[in-house]
Amino acid sequence: MDEDGKMQLGMVGLGRMGANLVRRLMRNSHECVVFDRDESAVRNLASEGALGAASLEDLVAKLAPPRAVWVMLPAGEATEGAVEALGALLSPGDTLIDGGNSFWKDDIRRAASLSAKGIDYLDIGTSGGVWGLERGYCLMIGGSAEAVHRLDLIFGALAPGLGTIPRHPGWEERDPRVERGYLHAGGPGSGHFTKMIHNGIEYGMMQALAEGFDILRHAGDTSLQPEHRLQLDLAATAEVWRRGSVITSWLLDLSAAALARDGELSRFSGHVSDSGEGRWTIQAAIEEAVPAEVLTAALFARFRSRQEHTFAEKMLSAMREGFGGHVEPGAAPGETGRGIPGRPALTRGAPRYPARNR
């Protein structure tokens, strides 16, 4: 940290989340050194003020100690390879962050391995999707309190801040960071475990909305008695629910926007993917012997969507696209208007990660 209170961060992985994390930090006058296997992604951010790196070695060399490097890559081999490579390059006192959606038990293993080298490891569940650049990111952080405190200015810049959400009386005597949108959840693994449950809950909330709209849509079916058939405007219903109802939420906002554009959601097939956290949430419920009927059913509904498609599954696809830019398998590249008006569709390309050391 310099005398003006500005910090330096290395970012590995410049996909839709990693790049916008960098942009938000630079808007708050922090310095970012960036690397991605896709050289054009590095050049794009360098043109906006970031310092580009040609390799992981170059990125580490351009950071002043004690260094902080944030890995924002797909969970699994991509992240594992990057963490392994960076662990061999960083020095005691440095901090390595995994801000993706890794399995929390992997975080515990990685933290122990890096701790033996004197390197701090933080696992950060990052929520905010494609809207995080403007809205800010909700951060759930696992790791040592000292490392979290050292990087507080980084987390504060990424988080949404107090905003207009009403404050609970008495919270001023508790951890003020939570009100600003970031939480030190506990030791290694706590951040990703908390985010995992967050995403499991998200599955259930989305499924409830999707099924409700499917019932509304079929209220006029010819299989019903003529006097019982109702012709309902789904877009208008979603819009009125946004305004003062008990189920008001961001997911409802996204649903209303999708229905307003196309009441039949004709651009969606209803094929709904799952990114892993839902499965891990159910696995944790089994290990803890905690009943999780709704979350389990929501996960299995996604499995079913890959065999047969209902309007509910189109609703799920519309919501996933809205908050995260997730595109259905087989969607045509270059389509616009998915989730963000005027913005190109976000498609899955080659994984953005360095080759894993063997």
Dump pLDDT digits (tens) for 308-354.
788 988 999 999 999 888 888 866 544 433 333 333 333 333 333 33
Of the listed 31, 62, 80, 195, which one is catalytic? 195
Of the listed 31, 80, 202, 328, which one is catalytic? 202
The pLDDT tens digits for 114-134 are 999 999 999 999 999 889 999
Q: Which fold has domain 195-324?
A: N-(1-d-carboxylethyl)-l-norvaline Dehydrogenase; domain 2 (1.10.1040)
Comparing C-alpha atoms, which of 340, 349, 344, 351 is closest to residue 129? 340
Q: Which residues contact 145 (CB under 8 A, 6 or more apart)?
A: 184
Please give the helix or strand (H or E) that residue 155 lies within, else none: helix 152-158
Structure tokens, 56: 């992981």
Report the alpha-carbon distance of residue 211 to residue 149 in Å, rounded: 43
The pLDDT tens digits for 8-61 are 999 999 999 999 999 999 999 999 999 999 999 999 999 999 999 999 999 999
Please give the helix or strand (H or E) that residue 145 lies within, else none: helix 145-150
Comma-separated ranges of CATH 1.10.1040.10 domains in the chain = 195-324
pLDDT-derived band at 2 (thresholds 50, 70, 90) equals low
Comparing C-alpha atoms, which of 128, 185, 186 is closest to residue 159? 128
CATH of 8-188, one of 2.40.50.70, 3.40.50.720, 3.40.50.10210, 3.30.1360.70: 3.40.50.720
Q: Catalytic annotation on 84?
A: no
Residue 205 in this model has a pLDDT that exceeds 50: yes
pLDDT more than 70, % of the chain: 91
Report the alpha-carbon distance of residue 189 to residue 110 in Å, rounded: 10
Report the alpha-carbon distance of residue 215 to residue 234 in Å, rounded: 10
If you average pLDDT over residues 265-286, what whole number do you get?
92
Q: Catalytic annotation on 195?
A: yes
Amino acid at 353: Y
Other CB atoms within a 10 A radius of the CB of residue 274 amount to: 16
Cβ contact 10:68 at 8 Å? yes
Structure tokens, 165: 């959400």
Give ∠ CA 161-176-181 in degrees, rounded to 5. Answer: 35
Q: Which residue has the higher pLDDT, 4 or 183?
A: 183
